[in-house]
Amino acid sequence: MPETRAITGNGAIAEAMRQIAPDVVAAFPITPSTQIIEDFAGFVADGKVDTELITVESEHSAMSACIGASAAGGRVMTATSANGLALMWEMLYVAAGMRQPILVAVVNRALSAPINIHCDHGDSMGARDAGWIQIYAENNQQAYDNMIMAPAIAGHADVRLPLMVCLDGFIISHSIETMQLEEDRQVQAFIGEHKAFHSLLDTANPSSWGALDLHDYYIEHKKAQQVAMANAKPVIEEVSERFGKEFGRRYELFESYRLDDAERVVVAINSVAGELKEVIDELRDEGEKVGLLKIRVFRPFPYAEIAAALKNSKIVTVLDRSTSMGAYGPLFVEICSSLYDANPRPMLYSRTFGLGGRELLLDDIRDLFEESKRYLNEGKIEKTSDFLNVRGG
C-alpha cells in the first residue's frame, strides 16, 4: 500500500534510493545533502537494501567511483550539494561524455565564497552545461517522484545520460512535509531493469573506455551527446505520463499554473513556486490576470514549448535563484532565447533572489506583481535585471 507520511525531502530521496536499490552508491557527506547518505547507510546496515556503499574521501572520488561502477554495468547513485558538486565538476563531464546514466540528488546550496550553507541554485546552474539532464522539484513529493522517474529516463536506450534531481537545500531537504511514498514493489516494477552496455566486467569482450579522442572524432561524439539530450525531452514526457497513469501525479516539462489567460507571468524554479502559487491565487481572487510557469526540466531546455505556453503573456518576470557574474541569470537567458521569435513578444525582465538562503516572503512576491503591473501599464521596464531583497537597493 502507498503510505502517506510526513518526511523530510532528504528522507524522501533516501527512500527512493532504497526502492531503486542501486548496485553501487559512492558518496561523501556535505550539508545539506548529508542526511540522504546517512539514511541510506542505515538501510544498508539494516539489510533493507543490497547496495555496495563506498564511503569515499571526496566528491571527486565519489563521482569517479560512480563512473567506474557504472561502466562496470551497475546502476549507480550518489547525492551532493554546492562545493561537493563543484569538486565533482571534472567528473560530471566525464560521466556525461561516457554516457553513464548515473543519478545524483543535488540538494541545492550556495557556493563559496563567502561560505554559506543555505539554498540557492548556483551549484546545479553552474553544472548546466556538463551534459546532465536536470530535473527540479518544488517540494518533497516532487523530489521523490522525480527520483523514481530518473532511472527510466537516464537509462533509456535513446538517452543514456546522467541525471540530476535538484531540490532546495533546507527548504525542502530538511522540512518534513506530508507526502505519499509508493509501494516498493510498484516502484520497482515502474523502474524496470537496468541495462548495461559494454560492461567492464565482460572480460570475454574487452572494451576500452575513456580513450584519447582527437580532432578526428571528438566532435562526432559531442554531436551524439547533443542528440541524446534532445531525445531526452520526449522520453521525459513519456516516462512522466507513464508515472501519472501509474501513481496519479502528473508532470510535464514545466508546470503551467493559471497561465492560459495570464497577462503577467512569473517564471521560476523549485520551492519558491509554492509561495508564488499562494500569492497568485490571492491576486486572481482580486481579478488580476497573473500566472506562473514553473520549470521542471532545465536540461534539456524546452524552448519551443515554453514559447507556446507564454504566447498570451504580456509581461514576464523571470526569477533566478543564482547569478551569472557579468551576465544575466541562467534562467532569464533561456527564457529570452525561448521568446526571441515570439510575435508579439512579451515584455521581459529578470530578478535574482534568494542567494545564500535570503528569504522571499509572500509580501515580497505581492510587491513583485505590483511592479510588473506598473511596468505593463507604463509600457516600459525600469530595470531589466536586478536583485531582490538586497540592502542598499
Partner 1 sequence: MPKLQEMAKKKTAFSSGHRLCAGCPVPIFTKMLTRVTDYDIVVGSATGCLEVASSIFPYSAWNVPWIHTAFENAAATMSGVEAMARVRSKRNGNAKKIKCVAIGGDGGTYDIGIQALSAAMERGHDLLYICYDNGAYMNTGIQRSGATPLGAATTTTPAGQVIAGKQQQRKDLSKIMVAHHIDYVAQASIHDPIDLSEKIKKGIELDGPAFLNILSPCVPGWRINPDMAVESASLAVETCFWPLYEVDSGDYTVNYKPGKKRPVSDWLLTQGRFRHLKDPQWAHLIDEFQSLIDEQWDWLVAQEKKA
Partner 2 sequence: MSEKYGLKNWQELALGGVITDGGNAADYETGTWRTWRPLWRQESCINCLRCWVFCPEGAFVLKDGKTPAGKDRKEIKQIDYYYCRGCGLCVRECPVNKKGKKKAIEFVREET
Partner 3 sequence: MSKYFEVRWHGRGGQGTVTGAKSLAEAVQGTGKCVSAFPDYGPERRGAPVRAFDRFSDSRIRIHTPVLSPDVVMIVDTTLIGGKGLVEGAGESTIFVVNTERNAAETKELLSLTTQPVYTVPANSISYRLFKREIPNSAMMGAFARACPEVISLEALVAEAEKIFAHILAADLVGKNIEAIKCGYDEVQTA
Grid coordinates of 38? 546517512
Binding test (CB under 8 A) with partner 2, winner from 50, 183, 184, 213: 213
For the bound state, the minimum distance from the C-beta of residue 230 to partner 2, rounded and expressed in Å, comes to: 13
45 makes contact with partner 3 (CB under 8 A): no
274 makes contact with partner 3 (CB under 8 A): yes
42-46 contact pairs (CB < 8 A, 24+): 43/14, 43/17, 43/18
Burial class for 161, CB neighbours closer than 10 Å (0-12, 13-18, 19+): buried
Measured from the CB atom, the residue of 99 and 118 that comes closer to partner 3 is 118
Binding test (CB under 8 A) with partner 1, winner from 207, 226, 337, 384: 207
Number of residues this chain uses to bind partner 3 (CB under 8 A): 25
200 makes contact with partner 1 (CB under 8 A): yes
* CA distances to 118, 206, 259, 288 from 361, in Å: 16, 57, 22, 20
Task: Report the candidate in 324, 258, 323, 333 with the shortest Cα–Cα distance to residue 298.
Answer: 333
Give me the amino acid identity at 204.
A
Whether 244 contacts 263, CB under 8 Å: no
For the bound state, the minimum distance from the C-beta of residue 245 to partner 3, rounded and expressed in Å, comes to: 21
84 makes contact with partner 1 (CB under 8 A): no
Grid coordinates of 25? 552508491
Among the listed ranges 132-140, 145-153, 170-178, 214-222, the one in contact with partner 1 (CB under 8 A) is 214-222
359 binds, among partner 2, partner 1, partner 3, none (CB under 5 to 8 A by kind): partner 3
90 binds, among partner 2, partner 1, partner 3, none (CB under 5 to 8 A by kind): partner 1
Whether 133 contacts 164, CB under 8 Å: yes
Separation between Cα atoms, residue 60 and residue 172, nearest integer Å: 25
147 makes contact with partner 1 (CB under 8 A): no
128 makes contact with partner 3 (CB under 8 A): no
For the bound state, the minimum distance from the C-beta of residue 357 to partner 3, rounded and expressed in Å, comes to: 8
**Longest CA pairwise span in the chain (Å):** 72
197 makes contact with partner 2 (CB under 8 A): yes
Separation between Cα atoms, residue 191 and residue 197, nearest integer Å: 18
69 makes contact with partner 1 (CB under 8 A): yes
Separation between Cα atoms, residue 388 and residue 319, nearest integer Å: 9
Among the listed ranges 22-30, 203-211, 242-250, 344-352, the one in contact with partner 2 (CB under 8 A) is 203-211
Separation between Cα atoms, residue 71 and residue 94, nearest integer Å: 12
Measured from the CB atom, the residue of 6 and 327 that comes closer to partner 3 is 6
Buried b (16+ CB within 10 A) or exposed e, 23-50: bbbbbbbbbbbbbbbebbbebbeeeebe
For the residues of 152-168, what is the DSSP string, one character each? HHHT-TTT---EEEEEE
**Which residues 63-102 are close enough to bind partner 2 by CB under 8 A?**
97-100
175 binds, among partner 1, partner 3, partner 2, none (CB under 5 to 8 A by kind): partner 3
Separation between Cα atoms, residue 241 and residue 239, nearest integer Å: 5
305 makes contact with partner 3 (CB under 8 A): no
Which residues make up the interface to partner 2 (CB under 8 A)? 97-100, 160, 197-198, 205-211, 213, 216-217, 220-221, 223-224, 227
Query: Which parts of this chain interact with partner 1 (CB under 8 A)?
Result: 23-24, 26, 50, 52, 54-58, 60-62, 64-74, 76, 90-91, 94, 98, 199-203, 206-214, 216-217
| Binding positions for partner 3, rule: CB under 8 A | 4-6, 32, 117-118, 139, 168, 170-172, 174-178, 271, 274-275, 277-278, 359-362
